[in-house]
Structure 1
């Protein structure tokens, strides 16, 4: 699926408002999700159990949506490859790392790290020659990574810093970036977003269940209270909306708008962690967040200029 195809879909439907709404809503859900994961730990839910049951619930919700719309997930060797690899890097692996790190480094720090995958995606696209070098976008990547470095240095230098969990938290965005590139390169032909999203989540749930059987980590949940079940139900709805909007944004808005999803998530997630969950603001928050914001803006601006040039050439 090429960028001209995505741009043509957007022009034909005159849907600039749809991808913009997907961006704002999907980003907000991403920021909320990190804070729900922190609260889950506070009420006794392990990261694996919370993630498994939430993804299972989201897969059920999106499967119903797909059936109602008569858009069942495609079943072929190519689509099964897509489901399981995308599930591993975009859902199961990345979210398990991030959710596991939250109790140790805070939801605010994790929310800031989710603004990095689009920038790492650009580096990967350059390495694979999916995209040509652009000075503006490269400057944006360098600036944003400098901002992430500022946050990481402050986090590492904290008296109670856990280097292991900080590194785990920083590995999550790397997997998400790999997922962004993979989904773009291997999108099954003629498949709709609402058909692919449930297939990916079902595969993610199966991978997490397999992980639980091969390790000492359990997917059991406390049964003496209804609160854990209620929180899982809420996170299932959040995941369902988040991943459906992710696919819709990738389909209708293209990589430029998709690159802002993590930034919107950080804008929502960090204040929620500070003001509603009582976390201390991450050290170096102002400088680090400012550099990341400038970097994302430069990457986006460079992408808009590239799109304009391509449109003029056509």
Structure 2
């Protein structure tokens, strides 16, 4: 049995790293915004509306037409916006106040395992010991990375509640692959999903009075919101394109790249040394990507 990597696989790896580093940078910016007093709902609203507008404009410029708005597409947009943005963000934000970040990060990154199980159930993927091994190795790499952050913790009900986040994300990924409308670009689907998410989040923002106005001249938190809007716009386009090219199981490894991005920015910005145990984690994550990417052939 031999292993081969196609040109499409190299393209998929490139997209995976771009998306992972984009989202990894976004999480660092989000943390700064939360510490600056911006409410999670207020921040989420801008991270839905801002990218929705930018991606919509880009879609019109590129395709010379408005993204599809028939009933089939609208249903797709709202289900993706609910499962992929609105609900997982809420469960993660509520869990974050009760679950230590190390444990929460590990739980959220169980998404690849859940995605692989769902892919087998819905016949999107065929069973492969190689892919399963890659996913488990990637999770072990993440566990090693998060291990120093784990401490004695007994609020198991909140740990169970936080499991809704990876389950929802995995469900959204499978839905997108299974029911993606034909002849519709990744840019158009991203725009529709983001507008749907904005509509879903808006009532919560209004009822909780969590709206955060952006005023000029910009202060530092507002400037970071605009930077994040730009990064999120790129991220959601990469997200749909990666799903189209490589499928849900490979995409689910993006959490591993997000973790590596955290190490990278810690080294570059905060001059944090990468420890030997963290290099082991990096090796395992890269090995996982290779195993999930390579195609088996006799």
TM normalised by structure 2 equals 0.78
Contact 1:23 1:261 in 2 (8 A): yes
Paired residue for 1:105, among 100, 119, 122?
100
Render the CA deviation track for 1:136-156: whole Å, top value 9, x for unaligned.
333344445566667788766
Indicate yes or no: 2:130 matched with 1:136.
yes
Indicate yes or no: 2:36 matched with 1:48.
no
Indicate yes or no: 2:215 matched with 1:219.
no
The structural deviation recorded for 1:58 is: 0.6
The structural deviation recorded for 1:27 is: 1.3
Partner residue of 1:4? Answer: none
- In 1, distance between residues paired with 2:162 and 2:142? 12
Contact 2:142 2:256 in 1 (8 A): no
- In 1, distance between residues paired with 2:220 and 2:205? 23
The structural deviation recorded for 1:210 is: 2.5
Indicate yes or no: 2:51 matched with 1:58.
yes
Unaligned runs of 5+ in 2: 1-5
Contact 2:81 2:193 in 1 (8 A): yes
* CA shift in 2, pair 1:98/1:286, >3 Å: farther
Partner residue of 1:80? Answer: 74
Paired residue for 1:250, among 240, 243, 247?
243
Indicate yes or no: 2:28 matched with 1:35.
yes
- In 2, distance between residues paired with 1:298 and 1:154? 26
- In 1, distance between residues paired with 2:12 and 2:37? 37
Contact 1:112 1:266 in 2 (8 A): no
The structural deviation recorded for 1:42 is: 1.0
Contact 1:58 1:201 in 2 (8 A): yes
Unaligned runs of 5+ in 1: 1-10, 310-314
TM normalised by structure 1 equals 0.75
Contact 2:142 2:281 in 1 (8 A): yes
CA RMSD of superposed structures (Å): 3.7
Contact 1:34 1:110 in 2 (8 A): no
Contact 1:28 1:264 in 2 (8 A): yes
Contact 1:137 1:299 in 2 (8 A): yes
Indicate yes or no: 2:105 matched with 1:89.
no
* CA shift in 2, pair 1:151/1:165, >3 Å: farther
Equivalent residues in 2 for 1:284-299 (5 A)?
A: 295=288, 297-299=290-292
SS of the residue corresponding to residue 183 of structure 2 reads coil
